């Protein structure tokens, strides 16, 4: 039997492609015993399938890969994804923050909608190798069985949450066909800090923090909401930039998200106008929690060997104490010990090198009729529905090319 195409992997990208190719002679091979396991877990089981707003705002959400993602996202944008799901009978809803979900808030409904379109799928079919021959490809399973197709799509995902099936197989399959792999690393993940000083603040979040990150490969300032955790730091500002962070990087956390000059000016004005008032008066004007205020006061009292700091008159705070206070608030030093690994990283940064793949069709530039879609490529998006949108848009890009080239009427 010769298939038009074989899709390796029944995740978000593979299922969307299978659905788009309904009616064609397509086989999906999945190593798990059911489809879309990661899709079922996405968005805490609610599946944040895309984001609302202009597609032009999406391009910046994929790290340094704006130019690669643009054609596919533009050709099959968030509105097209929503319209497609609605055409399958899956109603969607948009949350206030712009995240789009199935109206039922059940990821299962997304998988069911796609699966209704898919005709041929085989489970417990672990693909071990893909070879080219004169007619196309031979896809070999772990069992030794060989299957034949004119085209092959590698939709095996990355290496994150390996228990869900994505164990990095796609990289090996791609390499064997001559493709290069950008070394994978955990993405959308928290960082373990060497210092455990903020442990008492776990659960506290800071709106619009600014973090200066420096290291041999890192030199950037990142901005966004920060969460203190039991291991170190998380929250969108860390998750969305973790693709650029490495163990050993030094961080300076500005919890207030304001420029040093501005905060210093405000402090000196408070000293001039309210010098008789206590430090607590000034701290109370900051948008920080009581727990954080207490933490700073305690830490400074210990460091400077003083007592009753919260009640100290603003006019009595000397230059050294002011400097230390501002540096606690605006340049809190931490070092990254590690990134939280693949077991909990929501995506994988790195993957099949984009230089060898067409950004319009997702077809290999070196092996005709070989395609890569979804997270197996060196693409990882921010949180907020951008990764599933990529899985769907890249699948749609491959689908239109496959329909033109490979599908027998
Ligand atoms: C907990 C969690 C929550 C998430 N939530 C969201 C969210 O709400 N919104 C969002 O946009 N993104 C979210 N993501 C990211 C998103 O789920 C992924 O980016 C997306 O699923 C990638 O799709 P994919 O099809 O490329 O890979 P996957 O969905 O990982 O699918 C790959 C499939 O290939 C199969 N496979 C692998 N190797 C083989 C082989 N050798 N033979 C046969 N089959 C194989 C795997 O078993 C798997 O089923 C989340 C990720 C996680 C882990």
User: To test ligand 1's pocket by mutation, which of 13, 18, 28, 38 has the most ligand atoms within 8 angstroms of CB?
Assistant: 38
Q: Which two tokens stand for residue 345?
A: 């990283």
Query: CB of 382 closer than 6 A to ligand 1?
Result: no
User: To test ligand 1's pocket by mutation, which of 125, 129, 156 has the most ligand atoms within 8 angstroms of CB?
Assistant: 156
Q: CB-based contacts of 362: which residues, under 8 Å, 6+ apart?
A: 72, 371, 372, 373, 377, 394, 397, 398, 401
Question: Using CA atoms, how far apart are residues 352 and 383, in angstroms rounded to an integer?
Answer: 21
Question: Using CA atoms, how far apart are residues 381 and 62, in angstroms rounded to an integer?
Answer: 4
Domain boundaries, the chain: 2-186+343-405, 191-340
pLDDT reported for residue 405: 87
DSSP-derived secondary structure letter, 109: H
Closest residue by CA, ligand 1 atom 51: 346
Residue 257: Cβ within 10 Å count: 18
Does residue 192 register a pLDDT over 70? Answer: yes
Query: CB of 141 closer than 6 A to ligand 1?
Result: no
CB 392 within 8 A of CB 18: no
pLDDT reported for residue 70: 98
CB half-sphere exposure, 380, CA atoms < 13 A = 26
pLDDT reported for residue 409: 53
Q: What is the pLDDT of residues 50-83, one digit of tens each?
A: 999 899 999 999 999 999 999 999 999 999 999 9
Beta partners for residue 26, in sequence order: 5
Give me ligand 1 centre to Cα 240, in Å.
18
Q: Between 386-405 and 78-87, two packed helices, what is the crossing angle to 10 degrees? A: 70
Q: What is the pLDDT of residues 330-373, one digit of tens each?
A: 999 999 999 999 999 999 999 999 999 999 999 999 999 999 99
Question: Using CA atoms, how far apart are residues 90 and 308, in angstroms rounded to an integer?
Answer: 61
What's the whole-model pTM score?
A: 0.93
Can you state the percent helix, strand and coil of the chain, rounding each to 5? 40, 25, 35
Q: What is the pLDDT of residues 77-121, one digit of tens each?
A: 999 999 999 999 999 999 999 999 999 999 999 999 999 999 999
Q: What is the mean pLDDT of residues 154-179?
A: 97
Give me ligand 1 centre to Cα 111, in Å.
12
Q: What is the pLDDT of residues 201-223, one digit of tens each?
A: 999 999 999 999 999 999 999 99
Q: Between 290-304 and 319-330, two packed helices, what is the crossing angle to 10 degrees? A: 140
CB 205 within 8 A of CB 225: yes
The long-range contacts involving 260-265, CB below 8 angstroms and separated by at least 24 positions, are: 260/326, 260/330, 260/331, 263/326, 263/329, 263/330, 264/322, 264/326
Give me ligand 1 centre to Cα 9, in Å.
9
From the CA of 38, give the closest atom in ligand 1. 29
Q: CB-based contacts of 363: which residues, under 8 Å, 6+ apart?
A: 357, 369, 370, 371, 398, 401
Query: CB of 12 closer than 6 A to ligand 1?
Result: yes
**Cα distances (Å, whole numbers) of residue 270 to 94, 172, 212, 283:** 44, 62, 27, 11
Query: Rg (Cα) of the chain, in Å, rounded?
Result: 25
pLDDT reported for residue 46: 97
Give me ligand 1 centre to Cα 405, in Å.
27
- What superfamily would CATH give domain 2-186+343-405? FAD/NAD(P)-binding domain (3.50.50.60)
User: To test ligand 1's pocket by mutation, which of 346, 352, 396 has the most ligand atoms within 8 angstroms of CB?
Assistant: 346
Please tell me whether residue 195 adopts helix, strand or coil conformation.
coil
Residue 105: Cβ within 10 Å count: 14
pLDDT reported for residue 408: 66
Mean pLDDT rounded to a whole number for the chain? 96
Query: CB of 43 closer than 6 A to ligand 1?
Result: yes
């Amino acid at each position: 039997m010769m298939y038009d195409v074989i899709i390796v992997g029944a995740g978000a990208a593979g299922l969307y492609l299978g659905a788009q190719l309904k009616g064609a002679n397509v086989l999906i091979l999945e190593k798990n015993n059911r489809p879309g396991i990661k899709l079922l877990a996405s968005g805490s089981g609610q599946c944040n399938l895309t984001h609302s707003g202009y597609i032009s705002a999406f391009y910046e959400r994929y790290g340094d890969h704006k130019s690669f993602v643009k054609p596919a996202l533009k050709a099959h944008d968030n509105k097209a994804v929503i319209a497609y799901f609605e055409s399958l009978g899956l109603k969607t809803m948009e949350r206030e923050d712009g995240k789009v979900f199935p109206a039922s808030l059940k990821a299962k409904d997304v998988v069911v909608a796609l699966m209704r379109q898919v005709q041929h799928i085989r489970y417990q079919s672990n693909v071990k190798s893909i070879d080219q021959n004169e007619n196309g490809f031979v896809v070999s399973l772990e069992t030794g069985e060989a299957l034949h197709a004119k085209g092959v799509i590698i939709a095996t995902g990355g290496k994150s949450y390996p228990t869900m099936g994505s164990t990095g197989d796609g990289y090996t399959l791609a390499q064997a066909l001559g493709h290069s792999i950008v070394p994978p690393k955990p993405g959308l993940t928290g960082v373990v800090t060497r210092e455990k000083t903020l442990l008492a603040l776990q659960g506290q979040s800071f709106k619009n923090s600014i973090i200066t990150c420096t290291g041999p490969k890192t030199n950037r300032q990142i901005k966004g909401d920060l969460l203190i955790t039991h291991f170190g730091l998380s929250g969108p500002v860390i998750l969305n930039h973790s693709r650029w962070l490495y163990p050993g990087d030094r961080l300076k956390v500005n919890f207030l998200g304001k420029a040093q000059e501005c905060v210093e000016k405000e402090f000196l004005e408070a000293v001039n106008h309210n010098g008789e008032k206590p430090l607590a008066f000034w701290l109370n004007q900051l948008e920080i929690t009581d727990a954080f205020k207490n933490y700073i006061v305690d830490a400074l009292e210990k460091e400077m060997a003083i007592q009753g700091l919260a009640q100290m008159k603003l006019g009595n705070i000397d230059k050294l104490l002011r400097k230390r206070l501002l540096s606690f608030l605006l340049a809190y030093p931490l070092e990254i010990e590690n990134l939280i690994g693949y077991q909990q990283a929501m995506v994988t940064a790195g993957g099949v090198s984009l230089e060898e793949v067409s950004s319009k069709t997702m077809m290999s530039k070196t092996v005709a009729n070989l395609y890569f879609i979804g997270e197996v490529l060196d693409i990882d998006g921010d949180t907020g529905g951008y990764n599933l949108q990529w899985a769907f848009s890249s699948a749609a890009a491959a689908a239109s090319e496959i329909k033109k080239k490979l599908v027998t009427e």
